[in-house]
């Protein structure tokens, strides 16, 4: 039985959340030659929940293959992916400031869903879970959106915002899992990790 897990994520927020529940972890990151971004491509009119679960599965497949290729000590591998959905539209990570402003203009004054899928694998055992939360943004002026984007916070984040950052001053209401909106729902994560023998 291992006393640590591998986290296959570059997100510093996911590391902080694992530390919050006392889970020892080592990073298992993609090599430079791996096209990790390609795994996040949306296939046609894919439903957001199906999309986020499929991407998480692909990330876990890649991470398990990486673990075996590197010959590292065996331990459970954890992957997660978060997406923001406005209706059936998937709002991924913005590729520039203009796209970030456009996403935030769509989210302002609306309620959207945040879906985080998680998956853990130990040997041949794989366990998965999906967290669904709702976030309502207050109306935002073009100047407010521009100022928020200029701070750089939206880049690298699904939906162009981070709930734990300055965007919080524009969020009227949250229903669901705050840690799930951050990128790693702790209740579901702890349950999955306990199922593969990791104490939380």
Q: Which residues are catalytic?
A: 81
How far apart, in whole angstroms, are the C-alpha atoms of residue 108 and residue 89?
Answer: 15
Q: Which residues, listed in sequence order, are joined to residue 134 by a DSSP beta bridge? A: 113, 175
DSSP string, 79-112: EEEEEEEETTEEE---SSHHHHHHHHHHHTTSEE
Cβ partners under 8 Å of residue 69, min gap 6: none
Cβ neighbour number for residue 117 with a 10 Å cutoff: 28
Cβ pair 155, 93 in contact under 8 A? yes
The structure tokens listed for 135 are 């976030």
Q: What is the DSSP letter of 195?
A: H
Q: In Å, how far are 82, 185, 187 from 50, measured between CA atoms?
A: 12, 17, 21
Cβ neighbour number for residue 71 with a 10 Å cutoff: 6
């Amino acid at each position: 039985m291992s006393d640590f897990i591998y986290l296959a994520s570059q997100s510093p927020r996911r590391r902080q959340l694992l530390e919050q529940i006392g889970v020892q972890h080592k990073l298992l990151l993609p090599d430079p030659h791996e096209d990790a971004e390609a795994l996040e491509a949306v296939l046609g009119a894919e439903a957001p929940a199906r999309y986020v679960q499929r991407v998480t599965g692909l990330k876990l497949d890649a991470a398990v293959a990486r673990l075996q290729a590197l010959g590292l000590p065996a331990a459970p591998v954890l992957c997660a992916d978060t997406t923001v959905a406005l209706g059936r539209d998937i709002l991924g990570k913005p590729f520039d400031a203009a796209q970030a402003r456009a996403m935030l203009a769509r989210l302002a004054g609306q309620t959207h869903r945040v879906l985080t899928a998680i998956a853990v694998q130990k040997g041949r055992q794989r366990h998965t879970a999906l967290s669904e939360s709702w976030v309502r943004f207050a109306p935002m002026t073009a100047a407010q959106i521009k100022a928020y984007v200029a701070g750089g916070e939206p880049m690298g984040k699904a939906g162009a915002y981070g709930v734990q950052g300055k965007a919080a001053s524009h969020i009227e209401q949250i229903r669901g899992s705050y840690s799930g909106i951050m990128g790693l729902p702790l209740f579901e994560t702890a349950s999955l990790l306990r199922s593969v023998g990791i104490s939380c």
